[in-house]
Amino acid sequence: MVVAEHVPVLLERVLELFAPALSDRPAVLVDATVGLGGHSDALLSAHPQLRVIALDRDPNALEKSAERLAAHGDRVEFVHAVYDRLPEVLAERGLSQVDGVLFDLGVSSMQLDRAERGFAYARDAPLDMRMDPTTGPTAAEVLNTYPPGELVRILRDYGEERFAQRIVKAVVAEREREPFERSERLVKLLYDAVPAASRRTGGHPAKRTFQALRIEVNGELEVLRRAIPAALQALAHGGRIVVESYQSLEDRIVKQGFAELAKSRTPPGLPVELPGHGPQLKLLTRGAEKADETETEHNPRAASVRLRAAERIREGT
């Protein structure tokens, strides 16, 4: 299997979905999670009149994407911000609407590749997991200070971990002996706490706990619940939104946000659509689209992607 490094997921599909909203006109797109800039690079190259506002909470990602996108000059503006600050970012630039918004959610290739960030359970590293390493609690602080009941909730809700109670019992006993600092010790605890039968069939025993801790540390789901409605509100008529999610909890939030604006609010049984009660969104994907086998072979990160897209329409059209 050939593994490509930092390859944008579903790039051709993203370009195809945005083309009607960005082609042959001055347009503004918000890349809400610019990462290493792969999607933005391709969009800027495809649309010479496009301007991109590139957000990321990770200063290292902004630095790397600025290097990659330097050839596009002042057509790109970089903003250190979490994506739920989208309304504020646009207001500061005198913008009320944009033509496109892109979200590529989850942990980036760069964050996984840098062992010191603590996202990957395959290598020993400090238990950090902050997407913005300049602020907020670390994963170690969560493990060492949260009440047991809260830890159980996090593992169940954010990691969908069946053995949350067993894991937390072991964590509490261990942290009383010595606070957690590095990932290797946690991975060993998880390996011992998860039953052997589940280890054989359920993937790596650390995967779900690491996901849960990362989501908690970064407030990912709460941020997304605020960000999706804000992004939809910011779309101009004919503007498009594309969201790539990598786990079911994110995808559910996106699906629900889209569905709310894609349905009619006219009471059932009326023969005509009431003014101001029609759908505000047109869904551009049937359910969530996945990467094909060819892409996942060349880019393993694409294996779990779920892509949804929608277009802002005038009510009743």
Q: How far apart are CA 109 and CA 313, in angstroms?
A: 34
Looking up tokens 């579903």, which residue turns up?
10
Residues 39 and 16: their CA atoms lie apart, in Å, by: 12
How many Å apart are CA 148 and CA 167, to the nearest integer?
10
Q: What pLDDT is attached to residue 272?
A: 73
State the binding site for S-adenosyl-L-methionine: 37-39, 56, 83, 104, 111
Q: Report how far apart, in Å, the C-alpha atoms of 226 and of each of 11, 220, 242 are.
A: 26, 10, 16
Lowest mean pLDDT among 54-63, 157-166, 203-212: 203-212
Q: Give the Å distances, CA to CA, from 152 to 176, 195, 213.
A: 17, 17, 11
Global pTM exceeds 0.85? yes
Among 3.40.50.300, 1.10.150.170, 3.90.550.10, 3.60.15.10, name the CATH number for the domain at 116-218: 1.10.150.170
Q: What does the pLDDT read at residue 271?
A: 73
Spatial contact of 107 and 131, defined as CB atoms under 8 Å apart = yes
Q: State which amino acid sits at residue 141.
A: E
Nearby residues of 297 by Cβ (< 8 Å), 6 or more positions away: 1, 2
Match domain 11-110+220-312 to its CATH number in 3.10.50.40, 3.40.190.10, 3.40.50.150, 3.40.50.1970.
Answer: 3.40.50.150
pLDDT band of residue 316 (cuts 50, 70, 90) is: very low
How much is the mean pLDDT over the chain? 90
> Could you tell me which residues come within 8 angstroms of residue 156 by beta carbon, excluding any fewer than 6 positions away?
164
With a pLDDT cut of 90, the percent of the chain lying above it is 77
Lowest-confidence segment of 67-76, 227-236, 306-315 by average pLDDT: 306-315
Q: What is the mean pLDDT of residues 120-135?
A: 86
Give the separation between CA 119 and CA 220, rounded to whole angstroms: 14
136-151 average pLDDT score: 96
Contact indicator for 29, 99 with CB cutoff of 8 Å: yes
Q: Is the pLDDT of residue 146 over 80?
A: yes
For residue 3, what pLDDT is reported?
34
Half-sphere exposure of 252 (CA within 13 A, CB side): 7
Domains of the chain by residue range? 11-110+220-312, 116-218
What pLDDT, on a 0 to 100 scale, did the predictor assign at position 256? 97
How many beta carbons lie within 10 A of that of residue 257, not counting itself? 23
Segment 184-190 shows an average pLDDT of 94
**Binding residue numbers:** 37-39, 56, 83, 104, 111
Task: Give residue 4's pLDDT band: very low, low, confident or very high (50, 70, 90).
Answer: very low
Would the CATH topology of 11-110+220-312 be identical to that of 116-218?
Answer: no
